[in-house]
Structure 1
Amino acid sequence: MAIQLHRTVTVEVSTEIEQLTAGTEEFQRQSRIASTQKAYKSDWEAFTTWCDRLGYSALPAAPQAVSNYLTHLSQQGRRVSTIARHMASISFAHRAKGLPSPIESEYVRSTWKGIRHQQGVAAKQKAPILTEHLRRMVQVAPDNLRGLRDRALLLVGFAGAFRRSELVALDVEDLEMTQEGITITIRRSKTDQEGYGRKVGIPYGSRPETCPVRTLQEWLKQADIASGAVFRRVDKAGRVGVVVIKKEGKDEHLSDRTVARIVKHYAEAIGLPSESYAGHSLRSGLATSAAKAGASMHSIMNQTGHKGEAMVRRYIRYASLYHDNAATYVGL
C-alpha cells in the first residue's frame, strides 16, 4: 500500500514506516480468526478459478460477473448462508486492495435479494441433543479409551453448551477444579475474537455415569494428559496421538469437524437420523433441555454466553411446543 509522505524522510525513518506497516497488516490478519481466514481464502480461490474459466476479471470484479457467480452458486444448490460467505470473501478481497466492493452495487443487491426470496432465509437448524438422548449416547460408547474420550467430549460439550470450536480448543491449563465442579476458561470464541475470555462452570452430575466432571477427570487420567490439548485423537490401538502429531508439526487438538462426526455417530447409534444432528446439537441441546426443565432465560444465557435473547428465545419456544399447547384444549 503506497503511503504519501509530506516531507523527505531518511532511510531509517522509511524503514521504520515499512516495519510499522508490516506490523499493521499482521494485526489486520489476526483480527480474523483462523477458520474465517481459511474460509475466505477458499472462497476467493473458487471465485477466481470460476472467473478465469469464463474470462471475467476477478479483481476488480464487475457487478455483472459477481451476480452471475451468485447465480452459479445458487444453481449448484449452495445454501443462503454459504453464498453470503462467498459474498463477504469477494468484498473483503476488494477492500483489502483499496477497491470498492462490487457487493455494494444495486445490481448485485437485487440478485442477492432474488436468491434469498427463492431459497428462503430461514436457517436450517440442526436438531438438539436432549438429556434423554445424551444418556443413551454415552451408554452405547465402547468401553475403551476412545469411548471414554467420546463420553467426556459429549458430556462436557453438552453441560458447557460449548460451540464445537470452543470445545476442541480446550487445554488442560484452561481447567480449574473447584468444590462444585470444574471451571473452564474459554480463551477465545466466535463472539470474542479479541480474547477477553469467559468462565463456564461445569457442575458435578447427579449420576456418575453421566457426570461430565468425573468423566473428564477419568479421561485425562487414563490418557495420561497433564498439559496441552484436552481432547485428542485415539488410534485403533488405543494410543493417544500426541507424540506422532507433534512430530509431524500438526496441532494436537481434534478438529471441530471431528466433534460433528462424533455427534452424528452416536446419534445414529441410538436410532436418530444422523443428518439431523451436528456439533451444534450439543449446545442447542443444553439450552433446550434446560428450558424444558424450567431454567430461567438468565441461567441459560449465563451458560451459553449468548449476549442477546433472540436465539435463546428460539430454544425456549422449541422446548415449550407441547407445554400448555392450545390444541390440547379443544378436545380432539
Structure 2
Amino acid sequence: MNELAPAVRPERAALIQKWAERHGIDAAQRLAQAEHLADAVAEAITPENTTDTYTKSWRVWERFCEEQEFPLLEGSRGALVAYVAWMLREGQQDGTGYAPATAKTHLAATTVGLRQRGVSVSKDATAEARAAVEGLTVKLLKAGERRGRGKAVAADVDGLHLIVRACPPTLTGLRDKALILTGFNFASRASEPAGLLAGDVTLHPRGMVVSVLTGKTRYSVREAKIPYAQDPEVCPVRAWTAYREQLVAEHGQRWADPSKPAFVGINRWGQVTGGMVPDSVTRAIKRISVRAQVPIVWTGHSLRSGLATEGRKKGKDAVSISRQGGWAPNSREMLGYMQAADEWDDNAAAGLT
C-alpha cells in the first residue's frame, strides 16, 4: 500500500487497503486524499484552547499509564475506570486529586486522543468511566470534600454600580469601566474582549454592535446588539465611547485605526502595552472587582454568567439570552444560569409565610 499512502498511520493504511480491494486503486487514492483533507479541515476548525486541552489531557494519561504500568494505547473499560479513580485520588502533579469537573474533561479529551491514535474505545467503556466519576463525586461530597472553584459568581447590576464608582478618572479606569460594562452586556468569555478589534465595535443610533469573530462555536460567532442603558452611570455605550476617545487623545490617532485592539493593556505608568490577552482580561476582572469591594470577587466567567442570570430575573426568555451570549439554544450551561435565578424568583417556598 505504499504507492497509495506512503506515510499514513497503520489503521488508515488498512482502511485504504479495503477501499482498493472494493473499489480499485484509483478510487482508493481519491478516498485517501479526501481523508487527508478531512484531517486538515478538522485541525483548522479546532479552537486553540481545545487543542491545548487535548495535549494537557494526554500528558495526564501518560503519567497514569507510567505510574500504573498500563499500556499507553489501550482504552478498555477497566483502564478508563481506573484512570478516573486515579485522577480523583492522586492524579495531580502534587499527588492530590483533581476536581470532578476536571477529571471529566481529561477523560473526554483522552478518549479523543486514544481514538486519534487508532485505539478502539467503546461508548459503553466511556459511559461507565463517566458514571464512575459521578459516583465517586457523590462519595467525596458525603465525606465533606469539595474540590474545584465551583461555578463563577455571576456579575449583577449592584456590582456594576460598585465597579463604575470605583474606577478612577484615568485611561485605565475608563478602560476598566468599558471592559466590564461591555463584557457584561454581551455575556463575554475572557477570550472575546481580548479578540476584539476596534473595528469590531460599531456605534448605532440605538447603541452599538459588537461583532464577536473569535467564538468557540457557530453560535458564539455573533453580532451582539447592545442598547444604551436607561441609567447613564452603567451605560456600556457611553463607557466605550469615553474610553476610546481618551485612548486616542492620550496616545494618538493611530489607536483609532479599526485594525487596532479594542481593549488595550496599560501599565502602571499609563503606557499602552498592546492588546489584552485572555489571561489579562481575567486578571483585570478580578482586580477591578476587588477594588470595588463587591461582596464576592468576580472571575473571568462572571460577566458571562451574569447576563444570563440577570436577564432571567428581568423576564428575558432563553432565545434572546442565547442569541446575545452566543449559547446554543437550550444550552445546559445557559439553562443552569437561568435556573440559579429561578430558584429564588420562582421558588415554591417563596411568599408562603
1-structure distance, mates of 2:226, 2:321: 13
Q: 1:182 aligns with which of 208, 228, 235?
A: 208
User: Is the 8 Å Cα contact of residues 94 and 101 (structure 1) preserved in structure 2?
Assistant: yes
Paired position in structure 1 for 2:171:
145
**Counterpart of 1:155 in structure 2: which amino acid?**
L
Alpha-carbon distance change, 147 to 82 in structure 1, aligned in 2, over 3 angstroms = same
Identify if the C-alpha distance between structure 1 residues 216 and 83 changes in structure 2 by more than 3 Å, giving closer, same or farther.
Answer: same
Deviation, 1:87, is 0.7
2:202·2:210 contact (CA, 8 Å) conserved in 1? yes
Q: Per-residue displacement from partner, 1:118-166 (whole Å, max 9, x unpaired)?
A: 3469993222111111111122123322222211110101111223333
SS in 2 for 1:241: strand
Kindly provide the amino acid, as one letter, of the partner of residue 211 in structure 2. Answer: T
- The aligned residue for residue 267 of structure 2 is 235
- Find the residue that maps to 2:209 and give its secondary structure: strand
CA contact (8 A) 1:128 1:285 kept: yes
Q: 2:196 aligns with which of 170, 177, 195?
A: 170
Judging changes above 3 Å, is the alpha-carbon distance between structure 1 residues 119 and 191 closer, same or farther for their aligned structure 2 residues? farther
Query: Identical aligned pairs, as a percentage?
Result: 26
Letter in 1 for 2:228: Y
Distance 2:331 2:180 in 1: 25
Map 1:22-41 onto structure 2 (within 5 A): 22-41=36-55
> Superposition pairs for residues 48-87 of structure 1, below 5 Å?
48-75=62-89, 76-87=96-107
The 1:119/1:97 distance shift into structure 2, 3 A limit, reads same
How far did residue 17 of structure 1 move?
7.6
Give the whole-Å Cα distance in 2 for the aligned partners of 1:189 and 1:309: 15
Q: Which residue of 2 aligns with 1:249?
A: none
Would you say 1:100 and 2:123 are equivalent positions?
no
Distance across 1 between alignment mates of 2:52 and 2:82:
24
How far the C-alpha of 1:117 sits from its partner, in A, is 3.4
Residues 22/225 of structure 1: CA separation in 2 closer, same or farther (3 Å cut): farther
State the partner residue of 1:286.
Answer: 307
**Which digits, 9 at most, give the CA deviation of each residue in 1:43-77, with x for residues without a partner?**
11122133224432222345444333312221234
1:218 paired residue number: 242
Contact 2:75 2:111 in 1 (8 A): no
Structure 2 residue aligned with 1:248: none
Match of 2:136 in 1: 115
* Number of matched pairs: 314
SS in 1 for 2:264: coil
Q: Aligned partners of 2:164 and 2:51: how far apart in 1?
A: 35
In structure 2, relative to structure 1, the CA distance for the partners of 1:56 and 1:301 (3 Å cut) is: closer
Q: Distance in 2 between matches of 1:294 and 1:18?
A: 53
Aligned mates of 1:62, 1:262 — CA distance in 2: 44
In structure 1, how many angstroms separate the alpha carbons of the residues matched to 2:39 and 2:335? Answer: 40
Asked if the contact 1:91–1:102 (Cα under 8 Å) also holds between the matched residues in 2, the reply is: no
CA distance in 2, matches of 1:200, 1:68: 45
Q: Hey, what does 1:128 align to over in structure 2?
A: 154
Q: 1:65 to 1:132 in 2, by over 3 A?
A: same
Give the distance between the partners of 1:25 and 1:146, measured in 2 at CA: 44
* Aligned mates of 1:18, 1:318 — CA distance in 2: 50
The structure-2 alpha-carbon separation of the partners of 1:171 and 1:320, relative to structure 1 and needing over 3 Å to count, comes to same
Q: 2 CA distance for matches of 1:125 and 1:187?
A: 26
Assess, with a 3 A threshold, how the Cα gap between structure 1 residues 239 and 104 changes in structure 2: closer, same or farther. farther
- CA–CA distance in 2 between the matches of 1:300 and 1:265? 27
Q: Distance in 1 between matches of 2:54 and 2:346?
A: 46
The one-letter code matched in structure 1 to 2:303 is L
Query: Would the alpha carbon gap of residues 71 and 298 (structure 1) be closer, same or farther in structure 2, given more than 3 Å must change?
Result: closer
In structure 1, the partner of 2:4 is none
Gaps of 5+ in 2: 1-11, 90-95, 248-254
Equivalent position of 2:251 in the other structure: none
CA distance in 1, matches of 2:308, 2:175: 23
* 2:171 and 2:270 in contact (8 A); partners too: yes
Residue 343 (structure 2) pairs with residue 329 (structure 1): no
* TM-score (normalizing by structure 1): 0.80
In 2 relative to 1, CA 150–109 (structure 1 residues): closer, same or farther, beyond 3 Å? Answer: closer
Distance between the aligned counterparts of 2:62 and 2:206, measured in 1?
A: 54
In structure 2, the residue matched to 1:247 is none
